[in-house]
Each structure stands twice: as structure tokens, then as C-alpha cells.
Amino acid sequence: MTDTYTRLVSKGVGRDVAKKLGLPQPALLRRYQPGQPLVNGPLLVVGSSEGADAIAAALLAWDLDVRRHAVPQEKLGGIVLVLDDLEKPGDLEEPVLRAAPSLRDLAPNGRVVTVSRVPDGGTPAAAAARQGVDGLLRSLAKELRAGATGNGILLAAGVSATAPGALGALRFFLSARSAFVDGQFVRVGSSDGKLPDDVDTPLSGKVAVVTGAARGIGAAIARTLHRDGATVVAVDIPAAGDHLAEVANEVRGTALQLDISRDDAGARIIDHAVGRHGRLDIVVHNAGITRDKLLVNMDHSRWSSVIDVNIAAQLRINDALLASEHFRSSPRIVSVASTSGIAGNRGQTNYAASKGGVMGMVRATAPLLARHGGSINAVAPGFIETEMTARIPFATREIARRLNSLQQGGRPQDVAEAIAFLASDAAGGISGEVLRVCGQNMVGA
């Protein structure tokens, strides 16, 4: 859907008028296109640890222009702030204040990425310093302008700053694939995973199933996975058959008309993928419904249908996947949750319960997939421009668009990019996580 306001105030007279009136001035976001540079300008790596040196060397190996010391007034594509050696809160001051002046030189759509350790374990002083990075990064992300974003990578104990998952997350956060991800952290829990040989087709040779693929976010996911090299099985209900066939033909995949709430849905998905394509590597649980009503007026039908489709169906399908010998080679599951499941939403108690359930399922399922070298994660979209949000009354829609640090709604492509990253082997060390795609919504955690 078109955000006319953002286009009007992004340049020229519209920008000047918005500035004079004190109106929001959302920037046009740089979104991923195959072949584009990873960042627009040099990267400044700040930090004195071995991890900082190793990250700088890895970025140089990607043929990027890397600085270890700022050059005054040089426009920067991004700043990587490596804080993986914090032992006490006082350790934050030197690297953070050393990086601070360079924020003025950050180019439009620039990137700030922190790399630090999880606060679990260690001394109270170390935990305090590491947890402090959370507040620091989320606050900084709200200070950035012109489409720039700030995100963080958390390293578990024993995981190096150049583990595949850490470098994979760093590439994602620096790239235009993360345009609508802001103020977020991903935890790299292990050294599993593998960086792709071809960064433009990281899913080459994989077979991916996408539920709810006939339109909207599901169709965008199918297109993005196909662009990244995967063979796609597009799944949706029979009533959406025509749209489903169009999407499947567009991505040169196959269509499976299926009600995912059927008890045998998991078996049918496996049989189709393996029978038609010889394997199954990735399952994206995108299908979902809403049946909104204030809880005082909620009935059995509205409640049960949302719970059954949005979470119970995923649990049944996952049971079939975990029991199948065909889902054993570094399998990936990515589920679509929602910020409603984090912050709540009026009139959506059933929907929020189902999406909160998705997050709980992801955390509990991660250890079950780890034994096969697999992972499961979720993305939680905020306000995304879809046919559904286009039906929201104008004033309500405009307010919802501006209630994030980027002051605009996201696109289905933004959700799809995050899913494609989490489905890749580069994210193999990331599991049980929920990544918000919300432009750093002003409500919720």
C-alpha cells in the first residue's frame, strides 16, 4: 500500500513544510535489491578487543571500506560498536563516547550495530554492563534520523564475534534487507551455521514450504525465498486456489491447497515437498486469521478458530516435522508472530494469545531441533502495509504508521527479508529467538 505522506515530505517543498510545522518526517527507506552494495560508505569499527579486530578483518574480507579511527566529516555507511569485553559499567564510557561524534557523519539509511555479550552469568558488574548495552542501543536507535537504524548482536558464552551466526547477523543488520528492523537484538547461542558461498542466493538448493502464501505477507515471503535460491511450495486454503496458483507459477514452485488446521496437514506437507522436490529444508508458518472482538463479547467460534489456525495448527505440523526422517538436515522453521503478542492490542485478546503462544512454542521447540543441527525462530511484525491495514480508518491508520522510530509502516517485503535471513544457514547459531520487524514500535518490549 502507498504511504503518500512519506513520499510528500521526503524531499523538496513537502519536506520544508513538514519541518516548519513540526510534523513527522519519515525518510524513504533503502530496501534490498540484488547486486547493490552492502552499505553506502565506509564502516567504522570501534572497540579494542580481539573481537573488534576479528570483525574488522572479516569486513575487509568482504571487500568493504573499513575504518578503525574516525575521519572527521567523512560520510559513513555504518558504525560497528564492539563491546564484547565489558566487565563493569565503567567500561562502556570510552568506546561509546569515542563512537558518538561519528553519529553526525552517518549517511542516510546508515547502520549502527552493537556486538556484545549476553548478560547471563558472570559477575554482577559484568551483567550490569552487558545489560546496559540493551538500554543504550534501544535509546540510540530512537535518536537516529534519515532512515538510519540501530540493532544489536548478543553473543552467548563461548561464541566468538566471528561465529557464522554473528557474522550472518552483522551482514543482515548492515544490509538493506533490515530496513524496517530497528532497536532490536538477536542472540547468537552457538557456533552452528555456515556463511553462504553466494550472498545473493543463500538458500540455493533448499526446499521451502510457506503457508498462507496466496497473498500479502505470505506471497512476499514466497517471492523472497525464491529470489534467494529456494524452491518454494506455496500452501493455502482451497478457497484461495487461484491466487495461490498465480504465486506458485510466479516463483516457479508448486502449489498445495490445504487447510492447515487438518490433523494430517503436517503429513501432507511433507509428502508433497518430498514427493515433488525430493527434500524439505525450511517451513515458514505464516498462515493466520483474525476474529477481533472485545473479550466481553467474545464467543467460542471467534476464540477457538483463531487459536486453532494461529498456534494449534503450527504445533501439530511441527510434531509431524520433528517425527519425520525427511526433516533432519539442518532444518529451519520460522513462524510469524506479532507485536500484538508482545504489547497487546484492544479487541485482539484471542489473536494476541495465539501470537504470544507462537513465541512460547519457538523457545520450547529450539532444543528439539538442535539435535539435528536445526533452528526455529519467529518474526513479530508491527504495522505492515497490507490489504488488511488499508481497510483501517484513515486517522487510525496514520497514527499507527507514525508510532515507531522510522515514523512509517513497513512492507510485506520487510517481514520476508527477516524470514529469509532466519531460514538461512548463516543464522544457524540463532534459535528460539523472536525478531521484531516493527521500525522500533513505541509500545511493547
Confidence of residue 443 (pLDDT cuts 50, 70, 90): low
Q: Which residues pair with 66 in a beta bridge?
A: 43
More confident residue, 409 or 400: 409
Q: How confident is the model at residue 206 (pLDDT cuts 50, 70, 90)?
A: very high
Query: To which H or E segment does residue 61 belong?
Result: helix 50-61
User: Which residue has cell 486454503?
Assistant: 237
Percent of the chain with pLDDT over 70: 96
Give just the sign of the alpha carbon dihedral 235, 240, 241, 244: negative
End-to-end CA distance of the chain: 27
CATH code of domain 32-188:
3.40.50.720
Mind giving me the DSSP string for 308-339?
A: IIIIIHHHHHHHHHHH-TTS-SS-EEEEE--T
DSSP class of residue 110 equals E
> 296, exposed or middle or buried, with CB in 10 Å at 0-12, 13-18, 19+?
exposed
Q: What is the pLDDT of residue 445?
A: 45
Superfamily grouping for domain 207-437: NAD(P)-binding Rossmann-like Domain (3.40.50.720)
Radius of gyration of the chain (CA): 22
Give this prediction's pTM.
0.94
Q: Is the pLDDT of residue 426 over 50?
A: yes
- Residues sharing a CB contact under 8 Å with residue 397, sequence separation 6 or more, in sequence order: 389, 390
Cell of 143: 535518536
pLDDT at position 329 is 92
Active-site option among 172, 327, 351, 383? 351
Residues 294, 348 contacting (CB under 8 angstroms): no
pLDDT at 16 over 70: no
Which residues belong to CATH 3.40.50.720 in the chain? 32-188, 207-437
Q: Which residue has the higher pLDDT, 42 or 290?
A: 42
Q: 436 or 11: which carries more pLDDT confidence?
A: 436
| Res. 75: pLDDT tops 80 | yes
- Would you say 28 and 6 are in contact if contact means Cβ atoms under 8 Å apart? yes
Amino acid 50: pLDDT: 97
Q: Tell me the per-residue pLDDT of 332-389, one tens digit each, with 9 for 90 and over.
A: 999 999 999 999 989 999 999 999 999 999 999 999 999 999 999 999 999 999 877 7
Q: Is 32 a catalytic residue?
A: no
Mean pLDDT value across residues 151-175: 98
Task: Give tens-digit pLDDT for 50-73.
Answer: 999 999 999 999 999 999 999 988
State the chain's maximal CA–CA distance in angstroms: 63
User: Which residues are 256's β-sheet partners?
Assistant: 235
pLDDT of residue 152: 98
Mean pLDDT, to the nearest integer, of 402-410?
A: 91
Is the pLDDT score of 2 beyond 70? no
The three-state secondary structure class of 137 is: helix
